Structure 1
Amino acid sequence: MKLSKWSPFVEISEESPIVPVWVLFPGLRPHFFSSRILHGLGSLFGRPLKVDSATAVGSRPSVARILVELDITKRYPNKV
């Protein structure tokens, strides 16, 4: 199975450079775990899609995760 971004002009034979990737923010303070702030941080990398359920309820305070639509042909910072 191959996961790719859909568009009306999608070519099955071509690989899409846009992929969903979980971006992790280890050591983020708990008051930054709000969806609004995490979507803002995720938008530094691409289009934010969703916040991890453990992050949303705060059950794993050591790391925040957000799913981002990322263009793998671009370079991104290692730290924010």
Structure 2
Amino acid sequence: MKLTKWSPLCDIVVESLVIPIWVSFPNLRPHLFSPHIFHGLGSLFGRPLKVDNATSTGSHFSLAHVLVLLDITKNILIKFG
């Protein structure tokens, strides 16, 4: 199965350059668990779409998952620390 972004001009033969991916943020501090923070973190990679259920309910502390639309034609360089 392949997920692609649909548009009226969608051609299933042509590979999409924008794909949905889950991005994980391990060791996230509890005070950072808020929708505003998740949106900001997801924006580092692409357009945030949603947060998984475990992240939104806070059942897995220190780990967050955000679904983002990633444009695979762009280089992403994120440096921490």
TM above 0.5: yes
* Matched residue SS, 2:6: coil
- Structure 1: tracts of 5 or more residues without a match: none
Aligned to 1:64: 64
- Equivalent residue pairs, number: 80
What aligned pairs does 1:1-80 form with structure 2 within 5 A after superposition? Answer: 1-77=1-77, 79-80=79-80
Query: Residues 55-80 of structure 1: CA distance to partner in whole angstroms, max 9, x if unpaired?
Result: 11111113111000111222223555
- Structure 2: tracts of 5 or more residues without a match: none
What letter matches 1:30 in structure 2? P
Query: Residues 42-63 of structure 1: CA distance to partner in whole angstroms, max 9, x if unpaired?
Result: 0111110001110111111131
Q: How well do the aligned residues superpose, as a CA RMSD in angstroms?
A: 1.4
* TM-score under structure 2 length normalisation: 0.87
Percent of aligned pairs sharing the same letter: 62
* TM-score under structure 1 length normalisation: 0.88
